[in-house]
Structure 1
Amino acid sequence: MMDTMDLRIFTEPQQGASYDTLLRVATTAEQLGYDGFFRSDHYLRMGDADGLPGPTDAWITLAGLARETSRIRLGTLMTAGTFRLPGVLAIQVAQVDAMSGGRIELGLGAGWFEAEHKAYGIPFPDRRIDRLEEQLAIVTGLWETKLGDTFDFAGRYYRLADSPALPKPFQNRVPVIVGGMGPSRTPALAARYADEFNLPFASLDATRTQIGRVRAAAEERGRDADSLVYSSALVACVGRDDAEVARRAAAIGREVEELKANGLAGTPDEVVEKIGRYREAGSGRIYLQILDLDDLDHLALIADRVGAQLT
């Protein structure tokens, strides 16, 4: 038994998933007691996946799930800053937050997958981290503007004038997630704008190092470093025994030893031990990347045999 560790389900629908599939996973995750259901924000498959029936939009998906779930937190890892103008994104997220009764979280990143932009005619500009900084300032600034006041912003990439800064989210503050391994700009942006800092698929050493950078950046701003949540996203492949682990690894086209080295793979006890090492490295929340969205027994096993040891 270790200190409480939030477990959230993290899906990659661009690899192939309909809305109905995502709904089934989200409602199952809610019933099993997971803290959150999150999805990527991509429009093109990666690797050998067939990607069928085709991409689903992250915020349309979350709007639907907001009305069909009641407790579980919902959000993105990460919304691509290249896909939506920041003023429009602030409206969308605030509306979905209201639709959910205040259960939405926004992971916002710079965008990186150039091929999906080419495939769907989306501009892929340079200096995306500079644009992300302005996007974070605008989205949070719109939400924080007092009712009846207006919001103005004059940046290099975006300009807003006399905005009514509406609608407001249901929550007093929608949690904002920033993530990545950039050594300086990323920690600075997290320290300034984020409620949570996320590390995707990072080793224990990299996790320890990057969380240290973010904590230092927070302290440099005069912010309590403990006011941020620190989280990790890791692929999950858990089985009751070695044969079940191997079966689940084969179903997602991965090797067991590679998954054990780079993710959370093995028996429940092995995975609990690995999560404990991420806890020691500074992470207090785990996003379980689930790649086989038809294997709902996998979710049940993790909840019953892993989650039960983390509470």
Structure 2
Amino acid sequence: MDFGIVLQCDPPAARTVALARQAEEYGFSHVWTFDSHLLWQEPYVIHSRILAETRRVMVGPFVTNPATRDWTVTASVFATLNQMYGNRTVCGIGRGDSAVRVTNGKPTTLAELREAIAVIKGLANGRQVDYRGSTVRFPWAADSRCEVWVAAYGPKALALAGEVGDGYILQLADPDIGRWMINEVRRAAIEAGRDPDAITFCVAAPFYIGQERQHMRDQSRWFGGMVGNHVADLVARYGKDGGLPAALTDYIAGRQGYDYNEHGRAGNTHTDFVPDEIIDRFCILGSATDHIARLQQLKEIGVHQFAGYLQHDNKEETLRSYGETVIPALREHLAARS
């Protein structure tokens, strides 16, 4: 299993870069950042600095969207970073949440998302694409390579991930819901004539190493609110009984809106509707032993990467514990002599 961290681009940017360096030192393979240009600093500028100050980690947005940038501009960013730093980018993408809603916009349609993925993937991998009636390519990016991983919850989005995604991103760490989501993506891949084993499955959630469970829950409750935004969209579209797992839809019954000024922040004031049970299911909290047990469950259902949201008050200790205890426990052990 691979491991990533997910960072917000809060100022100062040097702090974000320092956490990325520390993550690489502890054995994490990916560094992801939020992409919401009004709430936080511009991620791609920071990505360039992270790549310059690290040697191995892959870097990308978690997640970008087709609405806030021209698709060819997004592809050019990845191709340029790849040329500068040796193909160390990955594009996480979804329909859009905070980046579009803060400006009173709406998430894009799945049709637009599909088109954007084709353009970004084609250009960032050195190929020519059809774009607005023209055939275009980057003549300077023939050697660029960039995978596109699709974030999704709903049935149609899960099918899209299986049909066109190099990877699938699920933003919650519940093994039961995860099994259902992964199976849906794999089924769509098979129906599209793709090899489902070629898709990377990534689960992302807050992760906190500690002993005071209620404090860890309170530091992570924001995540249930963030997931609730997407779930509310799904319930509005498909209905409460629209084929989605009840564990994903029931808990938003008390949701009364969302303040994007506090998006993704510990201690926010509008997620009281999220019960402790959901936090325990969606997040990974507790001792290193607790984390290893949950990650083993995720690995068994086909998860290839766990990406931990690091928005809490125990960042360094969580990274250290993962580097020294958790990551080694989930890696293949090889003997020097047999």
Q: How many residues align?
A: 278
Equivalent of 1:290 in 281, 285, 310: 310
| Counterpart residue number, 1:66 | 51
How far the C-alpha of 1:7 sits from its partner, in A, is 1.1
What amino acid maps onto 1:135 in structure 2? Answer: A
**Aligned partners of 2:108, 2:25: CA distance in 1, in Å?**
42
Equivalent of 1:136 in 117, 122, 133: 117
Equivalent of 1:275 in 283, 289, 295: 295
Alpha-carbon distance change, 126 to 7 in structure 1, aligned in 2, over 3 angstroms? closer
**Aligned partners of 1:38, 1:67: CA distance in 2, in Å?**
15
The aligned runs of 1:10-49 (5 Å cut-off) are: 10-13=6-9, 16-45=10-39
**Aligned partners of 2:29, 2:201: CA distance in 1, in Å?**
15
How far the C-alpha of 1:246 sits from its partner, in A, is 5.6
Deviation string 1:59-97 (CA, Å, 9 cap, x unpaired) is 111122121211111111111221111111111111012
Equivalent of 1:92 in 77, 86, 107: 77
| Counterpart residue number, 1:112 | 97
| Counterpart residue number, 1:193 | 164
CA contact (8 A) 1:207 1:282 kept: no
Unaligned runs of 5+ in 1: 46-54, 119-123, 154-158
Unaligned runs of 5+ in 2: 220-265, 269-274, 332-338
| Counterpart residue number, 2:235 | none
| Counterpart residue number, 1:57 | 42
What amino acid maps onto 2:74 in structure 1? Answer: L
How far the C-alpha of 1:106 sits from its partner, in A, is 0.5
How far the C-alpha of 1:308 sits from its partner, in A, is 1.6
The aligned runs of 1:68-217 (5 Å cut-off) are: 68-113=53-98, 114-118=100-104, 124=105, 127-144=108-125, 146=127, 151-153=129-131, 159-168=132-141, 170-171=143-144, 173-184=145-156, 186-201=157-172, 203-217=174-188
How far the C-alpha of 1:191 sits from its partner, in A, is 2.6
Deviation string 1:127-178 (CA, Å, 9 cap, x unpaired) is 53221111111122334555xxx5433xxxxx0414243442654x311100
| Counterpart residue number, 1:231 | 202
Single out whichever of 249-258 and 194-203 deviates more from structure 2. 249-258
| Counterpart residue number, 1:49 | none
How far the C-alpha of 1:236 sits from its partner, in A, is 0.4
| Counterpart residue number, 2:267 | 253
How far the C-alpha of 1:227 sits from its partner, in A, is 0.7
TM-score (norm 1): 0.81
State the secondary structure of the residue aligned to 1:197: strand
